[in-house]
């Protein structure tokens, strides 16, 4: 291949690699890494850090994972870093206070669960899972001290959220300063060529470059930042603690339903960051909705199908769609639901709690009063209702169902 053809090929691949990302630093480096791979087959390393406290991956994480998978297609070897040491500090980005220390067994368990989920997207043969306590613990006080000499407070305060908090008079713990330093040091130890992370990680990602220079690693990592995916509410970032997430491990029906419940505005955001459809195709869909030739719900459905298929299977996705249609469009009961049993007679409010449909009998009574409880598809008005022996289908609101067998 001529040098010119090689350049063209690299440029095209970079387009795919850069798709959807918010910002990159050191584009020339990306170019040369990919080009060298095509030229000589030399691979390069792409680092991404994850928190060991949240082994339940959600779609927000997959934005990053898909990007990593793209790199793997073009010579990237992924350094999947589990920040078991840094988790003890807590990244200052959030409101998070000092976190409790995780037991080694917990971390191990979480890591295992990570692997199961991550390899639905990543190629295991091109992925190395590493823990940063492995090289941070041996640093000791001396190493840590040395690390702190590479940076100063003024520059640390340039970090956006430190700056804001400092100006607003909100406390910043000294230990929080260590977080970016340690994250950067990870890149020194791993000699990463590229690091990717969320846009909120900009400062930390750049720290990797700074420290690689300070420690004379001989190269400075290129950086790619991905936008933060909003959660189901469309406002706050998708996170487990906010409860607005779609987990990778969600059942097909649930995953499909959750995607369909997002707002029309948010749908386009998900298309941009999660869909494999090209940007042109997405533009066409947008135009279709705007001129009325496409119903927004249909467009949302095809997104839900695509994503559900990705984490389950084509059949599961189609099944979920059919099920959804049955339950919501035709208000029939779901084909599968949790089953419970109880002794007759049982008070309805109690039954709802036992079937995990309501958190408390008080809540259950309120729900009955408001007319959101149905037994076998019929609305229930009597909050004193007693269930005799038999089989019932209990429903609270539109989404919560359970089958209850009452025996004498």
Partner RNA sequence: GGUGAGAUACUCAAGUGGCCAACGAGGGCAGACUGUAAAUCUGCUGAUUUUUAUCUUCGAAGGUUCGAAUCCUUCUCUCACCA
Distance CA 128, CA 148 (A): 28
In DSSP terms, which residues pair with 131 in a beta bridge? 82
User: Is 260 a binder of RNA (CB under 7 A)?
Assistant: yes
Please tell me the number of Cα atoms within 13 Å of 163 on its side-chain side: 7
User: Is 370 a binder of RNA (CB under 7 A)?
Assistant: yes
Stretch that binds RNA, among 124-132, 153-161, 307-315, 397-405 (CB under 7 A): 397-405
- Cis peptide leading into residue 238 (ω within 30°): no
User: What's the closest the beta carbon of residue 97 comes to RNA, in angstroms?
Assistant: 10
Size of interface with RNA, in residues (CB under 7 A): 40
User: Is 388 a binder of RNA (CB under 7 A)?
Assistant: no
Judge contact between 91 and 60, C-beta under 8 A: no
Distance CA 61, CA 50 (A): 9
Judge contact between 207 and 194, C-beta under 8 A: no
**Residue 212: both structure tokens together:** 């690689």
* 23-25 and 390-396 beta bridge pairing: unpaired
User: Is 100 a binder of RNA (CB under 7 A)?
Assistant: no
- For residue 125, what are the contacts with CB-CB under 8 A and spacing of at least 6? none
Please tell me the number of Cα atoms within 13 Å of 258 on its side-chain side: 23
User: What's the closest the beta carbon of residue 340 comes to RNA, in angstroms?
Assistant: 17
User: Is 94 a binder of RNA (CB under 7 A)?
Assistant: no
Site string for RNA, 272-311 (x = CB under 7 A): ------------------------xx--x-----------
Closest CA to 45 of 77, 82, 81: 77
User: Is 350 a binder of RNA (CB under 7 A)?
Assistant: yes
User: What's the closest the beta carbon of residue 300 comes to RNA, in angstroms?
Assistant: 5
User: What's the closest the beta carbon of residue 65 comes to RNA, in angstroms?
Assistant: 25
Q: Which residue number, 223 or 396, has a Cβ lying nearer to RNA?
A: 396
User: Is 261 a binder of RNA (CB under 7 A)?
Assistant: yes
Report 52-81 residues binding RNA (CB under 7 A): none
User: What's the closest the beta carbon of residue 312 comes to RNA, in angstroms?
Assistant: 16
Distance CA 29, CA 25 (A): 9
Sign of the four-CA dihedral 109, 357, 234, 88:
negative
User: Is 155 a binder of RNA (CB under 7 A)?
Assistant: no
- For residue 127, what are the contacts with CB-CB under 8 A and spacing of at least 6? 72, 77, 78, 80, 118, 119
Which of 257, 357, 392, 406 binds RNA (CB under 7 A)? It is 257
Sign of the four-CA dihedral 256, 261, 262, 267:
positive
Q: Which residue number, 12 or 360, has a Cβ lying nearer to RNA?
A: 360
User: What's the closest the beta carbon of residue 279 comes to RNA, in angstroms?
Assistant: 22
Stretch that binds RNA, among 60-68, 101-109, 167-175, 208-216 (CB under 7 A): 167-175
User: Is 148 a binder of RNA (CB under 7 A)?
Assistant: no
Which of 38, 288, 363, 380 binds RNA (CB under 7 A)? It is 363
Site string for RNA, 171-190 (x = CB under 7 A): x-------------------
Catalogue the E-assigned strands of 15-64.
23-25, 44-50
Closest CA to 257 of 146, 43, 401, 356: 401
User: Is 163 a binder of RNA (CB under 7 A)?
Assistant: no
User: Is 381 a binder of RNA (CB under 7 A)?
Assistant: no
- Decide: helix, strand or coil at residue 114: helix
Binding site for RNA (CB under 7 A): 169-171, 233, 256-257, 260-264, 296-297, 300, 324, 327-329, 347, 349-350, 353, 359-363, 365-367, 370-372, 384, 386, 396-400
């Amino acid at each position: 291949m001529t040098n010119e053809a090689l350049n063209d090929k690299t440029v095209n691949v970079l387009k795919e690699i850069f798709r959807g990302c918010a910002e990159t630093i050191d584009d020339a480096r990306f170019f040369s890494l990919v080009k060298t791979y095509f030229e000589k087959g030399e691979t390069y390393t792409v680092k991404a850090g994850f928190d060991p406290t949240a082994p339940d991956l959600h779609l927000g994480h997959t934005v990053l994972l898909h990007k990593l998978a793209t790199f793997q297609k073009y010579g990237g070897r992924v350094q999947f870093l589990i920040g078991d040491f840094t988790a003890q500090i807590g990244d200052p980005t959030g409101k998070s206070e000092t976190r409790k220390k995780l037991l080694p067994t917990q971390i191990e368990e979480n890591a295992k669960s990570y692997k199961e989920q991550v390899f639905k997207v990543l190629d295991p043969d091109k992925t190395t899972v590493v823990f940063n306590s492995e090289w941070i613990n041996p640093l000791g006080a001396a190493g840590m001290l040395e690390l702190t000499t590479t940076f100063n407070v003024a520059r640390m305060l340039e970090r956006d959220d430190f700056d804001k908090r400092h100006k607003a008079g909100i406390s910043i713990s000294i230990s929080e300063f260590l977080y970016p330093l340690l994250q950067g040091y990870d890149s020194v130890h791993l000699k990463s060529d590229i690091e990717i992370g969320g846009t909120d990680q900009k400062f930390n990602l750049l720290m990797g470059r700074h420290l690689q220079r300070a420690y004379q690693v001989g190269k400075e990592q290129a950086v790619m930042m991905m936008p933060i995916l909003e959660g189901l509410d469309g406002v706050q970032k998708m996170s487990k603690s906010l409860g607005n997430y779609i987990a990778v491990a969600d059942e097909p029906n649930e995953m499909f339903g959750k995607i369909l419940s997002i707002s029309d505005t948010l749908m386009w955001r998900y298309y941009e960051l999660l869909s494999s459809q090209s940007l042109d195709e997405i533009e066409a869909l947008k135009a279709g909705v705007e001129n009325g030739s496409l119903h927004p719900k249909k467009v949302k459905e095809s997104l839900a199908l695509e994503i559900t298929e990705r984490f389950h299977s084509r059949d599961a996705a189609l099944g979920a769609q059919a099920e959804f249609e049955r339950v919501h469009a035709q208000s029939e009961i779901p084909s599968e639901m949790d089953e419970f049993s109880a002794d007759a007679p049982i008070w309805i409010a109690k039954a709802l709690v036992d079937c995990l449909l309501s958190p408390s009998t008080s809540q259950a009574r309120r729900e009955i009063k408001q007319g959101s409880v149905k037994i076998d598809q019929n609305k229930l008005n009597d909050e004193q209702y007693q269930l005799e022996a038999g089989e019932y289908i209990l429903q609270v609101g539109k989404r919560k169902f359970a089958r209850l067998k009452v025996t004498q």
